[in-house]
Structure 1
Amino acid sequence: MSDSMAAYEAKVEQLEREVYLGLREDDLDPRQVVALACELFDWFPHTDAVLEVVERNPAEVSPAEMTALARRILDDAGFDPGFDLAPERLVTLRAALRIVARDLPMRGIEGEPEIEVLEDWFPVVAGVRLADGERLNWGGQILPGMCDDPTMALTGLAIMIQESLLVWTWQVWPVCPRHRLGVHGEQRNGTAVWWCAGDGGHMLAPVGELSGVRARKPARKSSVRRAAL
């Protein structure tokens, strides 16, 4: 990457952050929106929102219009505030981990796991560290945008932990006691669940409630009477 492109990207990112914070704190500075639009207009194919901000006189744009245009520009640019500018995402993710953690004793894992923000990754993501220090990052990581919705965060976290444990231990977990099949974390009807594909598919349990699943009892052997010859 050339020095000029690196400088441009750094400038755009800084303006994006300032515009986002202005929106978040209800203190949007129209000059920052204009500056961001001008930077994007000069370097990349511009969107309708960028073009409108560049062409219009800012004094003639109402605060409500400028707010809407700023949101559209950030969306068009693919800006993501990450965890640092949207700390509520970590609150959501930690709440999700407390739910998933209720299932871990069923796998023989004790102690309280923690969310770990991986600052050295790009983009910055989150992983899980168990109480014994083991990292569960082999099944992927959690992107900040996954934490805007609690159910999405819970489902993504369950899948990541499940796949990480599979890579780490080479053992399938959880397992449906009725079908002897490994189940998967899925979102069904707005709820994060452990889903079994047996018999056309069914919910084993909501994520966090595996302790309520009863183990399958061995089937009784039926006696066979033989007719006397």
Structure 2
Amino acid sequence: MSNAMDEYEADTEQLKRRVCLGLCEGDLDPQDVVALACELLDWFHCTDAVLEVVERNPAEVPQAEMTDLARRILHDAGFDPGFDLAPERLETLRAALHIVARDLPTRGIEGEPEIEILEDWFPVGAGVRLADGERLNWGGHILPNMCDDPTMALTSLAILIQESLLERTWQVWPVCPRHDLGVHGSEREREVVWWCAGDGGHTLAPVGELARALSRRRPE
């Protein structure tokens, strides 16, 4: 049973990737959609989209309708294209890192960090490697679906870097100079900020602008 399940998972994963690639490149092969639907049905994944594809003649299904069915099947099957089939996610994450990296010199970290794809993790995600070669992975890793939205990508990355540095050094960063409290990466009204809980809560600085905020705010 285990071997059969392994073969099923390998076959369906390959079909999912082919269908996803066809959707991305605009040359979806209806036979791939049918093959995927049949594989899923054989293992009792009986969603409406799967049943519709299996029951209809693919030659009679308009391309736009088949495209919609393919998207629904992938969604129902929980397929995530990752970074390799959705490279725009990786570009979003790199843009987010460029913003967070502007704050790292306030922690004594120089040089340009890089995004690193963690192929040995499951599910495959992304982490950060500093210019000196050290990997910041104490705070977990960034999943591809976190990068569909730039705000989510920036928030997740700021939190990962902050938690990783805390675990590595046992020193809180950043710190609000007015309240002497550690601040946290947070989304506030669609802006990613370093948020302090002091006095009911306030923004210390937008992520990426920490140095400017610290230079003008001194403890009393």
- Give me the TM-score of the superposition, normalised by structure 2: 0.96
What is the match of residue 125 of structure 1?
Answer: 125
1:142 is paired with a residue of what secondary structure?
coil
Matched residue type, 1:86: A
Q: How many Å separate the matches in 2 of 1:95 and 1:170? A: 28
How far 1:126 moved relative to its partner? 0.6
How far 1:218 moved relative to its partner? 4.7
User: Is 1:142 aligned with 2:142?
Assistant: yes
Moved over 6 A (4+): none
How far 1:45 moved relative to its partner? 3.3
Matched residue type, 1:6: D
What is the match of residue 93 of structure 2?
Answer: 93
Deviates more, 1:5-14 or 1:36-45: 36-45
What is the match of residue 26 of structure 2?
Answer: 26
Work out the number of aligned pairs and report it. Answer: 219
Matched residue type, 1:140: G
Matched residue type, 2:141: Q
What is the match of residue 188 of structure 1?
Answer: 188
Q: Is 2:177–2:219's contact at 8 Å kept on the other side of the alignment?
A: no
1:31 is paired with a residue of what secondary structure?
helix
1:59 is paired with a residue of what secondary structure?
helix
Matched residue type, 1:202: H
1:46 is paired with a residue of what secondary structure?
coil
- CA-based RMSD of the aligned residues comes to 1.2
What is the match of residue 172 of structure 1?
Answer: 172
Q: How many Å separate the matches in 2 of 1:116 and 1:217? A: 36
Q: How many Å separate the matches in 2 of 1:188 and 1:217? A: 24
Matched residue type, 2:212: G
Q: How many Å separate the matches in 2 of 1:143 and 1:113? A: 18
The unaligned stretches of length 5 or more in structure 2 are none
2:134 is paired with a residue of what secondary structure?
coil
What is the match of residue 9 of structure 2?
Answer: 9
Q: How many Å separate the matches in 1 of 2:12 and 2:207? A: 40
Q: Is 2:34–2:53's contact at 8 Å kept on the other side of the alignment?
A: yes
Task: Note the alpha carbon deviations across 1:4-62, whole angstroms, 9 max, x for none.
Answer: 11011000000000000110011011110011011101103311111111112212211
Going by fraction, where is helix more abundant, 1 or 2? 2
Q: How many Å separate the matches in 2 of 1:146 and 1:4? A: 32
Matched residue type, 1:126: A
How far 1:87 moved relative to its partner? 1.4
Q: How many Å separate the matches in 2 of 1:197 and 1:51? A: 52
User: Is 1:42 aligned with 2:48?
Assistant: no
User: Is 1:59 aligned with 2:59?
Assistant: yes
Q: CA 1:98/1:203 → structure 2, altered by over 3 Å: closer, same or farther?
A: same
What is the match of residue 162 of structure 1?
Answer: 162
1:128 is paired with a residue of what secondary structure?
strand
Q: How many Å separate the matches in 2 of 1:118 and 1:140? A: 11
Matched residue type, 1:211: A
2:135 is paired with a residue of what secondary structure?
coil
How far 1:151 moved relative to its partner? 1.2
Matched residue type, 2:34: V
2:110 is paired with a residue of what secondary structure?
coil
Identity of aligned residues (%): 79
1:123 is paired with a residue of what secondary structure?
coil
